[in-house]
Chain A
């Protein structure tokens, strides 16, 4: 019994390191959406620095620890945020996973390389297996007996610092403005920026904190782990288990799970003797738990297919080129390669390197199927290849003919692929990736350790392929054979993409629910993808082994799968070309480095920097080349188009003024004017079609073109006193232009009601005004200052507040915290709105709709902004509540706030408004005092009906 207590106490102490590491992982994931596989590598770098400062430069341990954890780690986090994570957050899942995996390899290599370079001149100790770093505590450690368990000073310090870090983190997140901003950004990133919170700065803060935690864990763990980057990566996997049990959201649960893992490991080591016969089973306990946690806790609700719209394929930038021109580079490359190969001698070293590259390329083709086409990131590909090779070797050694053995191998890999696909049916996204990782590690640690299967460390011998006239002991034969096979796979992939199955895959990938309702079986599609991909990987694995002459369980380790994925994605995972290029690079590049006597670390570092490229160009090098060509042309086009729209808007406005002078409002005349100005709608298009000259879009359904005739101003020419104005703004989403030259101004103490039918561009106007959407052309002015280039959070800080459509609250934060995002002291709000005071500790998401809207606007009452833009404030509210909301607006107006009120329901807005602007088809078509608004205008504005 005392033994059990001992295991638990001691396990809690060692679990503290996992807890610290896992908390950082959860923190950065929750705050930025990037799951950082390099978290362990950051810990390693901090530990390395600590070791060199302490042992190399002779600094006292506490000082070295302080520098490594509190100075270096946050700095590293910040730098990584700037150069990589910031871009990755927008780059889609595959790029995120690959980018951080690249870092896992590059960061330790960078550290070790620097140590290698500086060790000699500075007399530093080298960081290898013989280096024995010390802990933060006394050295050698002092033993203390706690509750009958002997612990050393390092262990106690570890526990102390872990608890300190947990308490500090909790206090930081709950009780400082920084923590509040970070949580607000996590809760609703867009809203946070509208409240003046720099979400980017919050992300930077999250990365710095997370990195500090990793650094702390690294320094605490280094006396037990040693300076071994692999050990730190293993620790990351264990920590990931804890993070998964915290559902990658809850830091307290993560922390507790980390402590629990320490205990579980001790209990398994102490009592699970029955597992002795299965080699690796006990090593694999964290992995098994990881897998179980993923399956049980993390069923992803909305994104089961493994990807989402953000992973949408890039447009085909070369679509305008003829087929022969698109294929030319590949044909030339292939011809050169074949020509070169066939003129080399049979035992040429470089031909065998190329052959090796092509084997890898064949295996990489499986990534094209499962990741490029299927959108699922699979880290177990090396295990499939290994599985096939080992099965083939086992069958061949058992006396089966070689062709049968090959078939068995490929079938074996396919079977495993189907097994891996089973969790994929439930899981999606990063969770699926982690699950494949867990399975890959399980295969490595348990399945391939079965001696009967892998023949121990010696493995199985495999013969060469014979083709009758030649066999594959000649590398030239290998090159030709592989090129043929890759060609076949390419054909297969092309046909797959064009077939009904290909459409089914795309359907499941982009909209699983819709696919299901359309009768596409998502499970069948996914299983097929995995089976196909693992079959290809298996064939590659068998060839790899046959060319090598033998296969062992360690030839294709799970870790290789990571590197492979990274190499392929760097080149472009959506096309076979990327796989071929990736394979060749993976084989040839290290050879070149070795020939030039460059440190292998440099290769690893270069490879990691690939991650930074991905942060900017998620679709890889190949796509980037095509894209660069396209972008240059497109940018010119875009500018030209925006200028055209502006000119047209200006012309229309002039036309309107002319008309006002004539006090006639006849549509035909205006259009004629516009046309004669050369910028109007094409003649003969009719009033409806002519409404969208630029190839109209968002507002297309609105047929209000006659209203253009009334585009006039009553007093806006005299808006010298305007506090905030939009000038001829053109803006839109992607290729779709929504605002087509919007002019709008508002003065202090004035309410401008912006009215218009659904789709007129009102919300887009709000977004542009608040800085949430960049403009293509035109200006935004605040008090005469051009604020067009200011980001949303800066505009908010200068007093431009947008209450967005729907409810502008952070549902995950309490009422009190919601108020604190805009106010330093929320008490005045409670005085004004006692019903909120009673609910200050309740999550805002639990409030009623009316209360939420009041909560949105209440802070503005206490600290009035200079400009308040309210987008549909009465939407979905009971009439009484809506009334109260409008009372708030009235009060704000009296206090000098410039108000822009966007409403679809015009009546109440009109009661309040001083001035009214009608929008239609992305333009303000009429502005005037409320008095001039009559039913006719309203009807026309909303229904597009002319008199």
Chain B
């Protein structure tokens, strides 16, 4: 039990940090530009696939640097040639554009790399157990992922607190209407923010790819969870997104690790009751429920705290 708790906590924090790499960019983009970037998880997927392909061509470490930059460039192109032209048609059109992009990117990825998982492996230098908890070997690569995401987290924090762009971003988070007064370079700031957000998502993909499954449906699986994270944390709140990321990371990780069900807790139901939704619920394991937990959380938040954990705005 203690083993499970330690391992799941580590994994949960790791998953949470990865979620935050994505949700931070999504939150900043949403707050500044009013665009809910449906394709954000697609950039994460692109990161993983670029990472995989570049690793095969030039090795993991160059890929680790190049793939996020490439994804960032794709993101900037999307902003410059897509969103900026669509802006005049309103936020719904922008959202629809990113929705179409997400759809197209998934199709392009499966067109090029197929629909089954690709063999994106942990680099040899990191392919050893970092330490052993009880009887479980904890892989070094996961520690590496954790370190990378923490470093990025700190870098983000410093950027936000100390740089000019960071101050603009902060101001935009609290006063979205102010963004219009940024002056003539507002377009460049948007492009930069979108590019950096995409690059961060790409980075998350590059490092998560070898550890998780790199497959063409990974964006579709993660995207909705990201939306839950930012609604749950409170739209436009970075600390909220951070807490929500960790929380959802931990909850899902623990849920997956737990095999209990109501039946295992209270004993099986009388078989004479036959098959019904009750028996379904009675027999389902927590691990099987794991995928829907974020959405249950979303519903609960909507009912009890519509502005999210740390949100100030209702919409």
Are A and B a genuine interacting pair, yes or no? no
Chain A positions within 8 Å of B, measured between CB atoms, are none
